[in-house]
Amino acid sequence: MALTTSTNNNQALLDAQLELWHTTFAYMKSMALKSALDLGIADAIHSHGGNATLAQIGSRATPTLHPSKIPCLRRLMRVLTATGIFSAAHHDDAGGSELVYGLTPASQLLVGGSSSLTPFVSLVLHGIFVSPFLGLGTWFQQEHSDPSLFEMTHGQTPWDLNDHNPAFGQLFNQGMVCDSSFIMDIVVKECGDVFRGLSSIVDVAGELGGAAMAISTAFPHVQCSVLDLPHVAANAPASTSVKYIAGDMFENIPPADAVFLKWVLHDWGDADCIKILKNCKKAIPPRDAGGKVIILDMVIGGQSSNIKHKETQVLFDLYIMFINGVERDEQEWKKIIFEAGFSDYKIIPVLGVRSIIEVYP
């Protein structure tokens, strides 16, 4: 009996150590993924028809790998297959058995092209975005939330850095555009009903209008406008059906049947969000005339029982904290929606970790 108890206790200790190690080394998954992006591994496999050996990957990687690094590449690919980014299977031929790597649904999203998510993932994993979290514990010891974790590390906001560092600015803009294109393609297909019946919509803080253009293309009868700061609107494309308006969402929002807020409110605290929402309410007609605000954002916890959904949501909530941003659960959304004077809302959880929230005056 004593031996059994001792064995159980030791196993519990080992299980506890495993839990710590699993979390401690979890960042290696991100670094392995970053290496795959830096080397263009998904494109290398794709160029071989979707399946490739280590030698083939090494020869097509960007830049080409020196043969001495092929054993190290095997270890990198072992992590990337264990985490589901790539697949691996033994193929037998006359020369014996060889491990062949393939694309999974996740890595297919990293293959170059207009639908690739590589720019967004590269942005999130860039050293400029990763380094602030090394000081997270120090930031928690500050009395106030300002400066943000990002500002504490880099001495300026991401938007200031975007304006003054052309290389980072290009990466930042490409990352935002690719994420917007990806999610909006699904929004117009899965949530098209939220745009039906509208004659006009204004995309607030819509940058260069990627989301508005997706709505305009899918629903040509809807007059789409984008509101953003003057220096953003000044760089808007000229030949498009979307109208660009220079302004400030904290001051005034142009009138429309609906206001679209895509990943806007998570950048702001409750007081600022309530001010933005109040301006949205002034811009739209009453509910019985079709007026509404359409929010695309996360609802922490949501209605999904998927553990990976919930974990990704809370991880992103901690991530966005580095610019003093916040993701909200339903009760937190309800609070700011009602305090802004709206009467009701509806959550449509069909966008993976994100949702559509329809808000009614």
Catalytic residues: 266
Helix, strand, coil percentages (3-state) for the chain, rounded to 5, are 55, 15, 30
What is the separation, in whole angstroms, between the first and last Cα of the chain?
68
Strands 243-246 vs 299-300: parallel, antiparallel or unpaired: unpaired
CA distances from residue 236 to 224, 229, 245, 337 in whole angstroms, order as listed: 14, 11, 10, 31
Instruction: Decide: 324 and 136 in contact? Cβ < 8 Å.
Output: no
Distance between CA atoms of 139 and 152, rounded to whole angstroms?
Answer: 8
CA distances from residue 204 to 252, 264, 282, 332, 336 in whole angstroms, order as listed: 10, 8, 14, 21, 18
Per the structure block, which two tokens stand in for 313? 């949501």
DSSP H/E element including 336: helix 330-339
> Quick check: bond before 220 cis, omega within 30?
no
Q: Collect all residues with Cβ–Cβ distance below 8 Å to 176 and sequence separation of at least 6.
A: 120, 123, 207
